[in-house]
Amino acid sequence: MKNNDRFIALQAICWVVLEKKSLSTFAYPQEVSPLSKSLVFGTIRFYHQLNDIVSDLLKHSLKKQDLDIHCLMLLGAYQLLHSNVASHASIFETVNIADTLDKSWAKSLINAILREVDRQKDTLKQQTHYSHPTWLLKKIKHAYPDNFAQIFKQNNTQAPMTLRLHPRHNIDTHLDATKIKVAPQARLLKQAISVYDIPDFDKGSCFVQDASAQLAAPLLEPKNGDLILDACCAPGGKTTHISELTPKSKIVALDSSSERLKRVTENIERFDIKNITLLQGKAQTQDWWDGQLFDKILLDAPCSATGVIRRHPDIKLLRKPKDISALVALQKDILDNLWTMLKPGGTLLYATCSILKNENEQQIANFLQNHANATEVPITLDWGLKVAHGKQQIPCYEFDGFYYAKLKKNIKEKDS
């Protein structure tokens, strides 16, 4: 019974809701079913709505040691409101998980709550509930008064799968996909598939990468012969893309985590790339740097990841307002530090997968105010919203939420 789809799903949900740990660090059993994963992602995606519904129906909140039962009711409510599982199966199978938890006493409670959710199903489905934490709801509504409904809808939708095709391979004919004009190597798959079903995936035929992220390398305008820094590089999608465009450049790929660098190494090996040097170090320090100035710097800055919630719904539960101010301070430190490593005349491309203005256009406004030798280069791509500084894409079907700003370091005039 402990390999039951719903029991596995419940463990992953409790990992996020009760342990406050990232879903990406949850160890699923080797043989995990697509149903388990869809139940996990769905329940986490609609957690705030489901929690409000279940909490309202409970006469008394459960004791701390029984909060797994609360999570189990959320799992049941998700199936009733958002899945194609038949109501009777949703209720029956979910109630029986209480036996697996050795909490048979809870079966009648779970049954009563889920039957009430089922009775109210039509009404509940008609109610507007954006299923985001209050602080984020307010922040997004304030920042995007005309677009917040689209953002919330996209955040509660499963993201499509997009590939970046390597020019060296020709696998287009094997894919059921559409092209994206602004990102020529991007292919938006009609349906997600296993990478093992993609021809020559192990030989570097493609990289799974959202189209927004595929814009970084072309925007940087790398040239053969350039010395390029990719700061905060893991898992290596943008690094390998820069190499594809300029195989004769020299790329330094930096990340602070040895674990994440292992993933970069795997991708470099899969693409058989020879022009990337990996370094472990913090982008806000200089102890890893040999003093040689870079022609181009890509800073894919640590951020709130509020533009990729549809891919990582646990962000809505794990991210807190205080995290944002800490991230904004870290981004500033990294920007200031890396700017000293850029050649006069060189380009720094600042990128985040955030939609929060203080991490994006406000960060760049402050940077430009504090650095007289920095000039913003306009981004003219037919992509995203033009904002005070840089360009901001909000989540939509083809693109994750993403931000770019391009900065050039002025060449100082020589003293006459």
Question: Which residues are known to be catalytic?
Answer: 353
In this structure, how many other beta carbons lie within 10 angstroms of the beta carbon of residue 88?
Answer: 9
Pair 212, 402: CB distance under 8 Å: yes
- Where does residue 67 rank: exposed (0-12), middle (13-18), buried (19+ CB within 10 A)? middle
Among 262, 272, 267, 158, smallest CA distance to 207 is for: 267
Among 67, 111, 64, 106, smallest CA distance to 91 is for: 111
- The terminus-to-terminus CA distance of the chain in angstroms comes to 82
CA–CA separation, 155 vs 161, rounded Å? 15
Pair 205, 173: CB distance under 8 Å: no
CA–CA separation, 201 vs 189, rounded Å? 15
Pair 349, 404: CB distance under 8 Å: yes
Chain centre distance of CA 375 = 29
Strand 276-280 with 250-255, pairing: parallel
CA–CA separation, 370 vs 380, rounded Å? 25
Q: Where are the alpha helices (DSSP H) in 127-277?
A: 134-143, 148-155, 216-220, 237-245, 258-271
The CB-side HSE value for 42 (13 A sphere, CA atoms) comes to 20
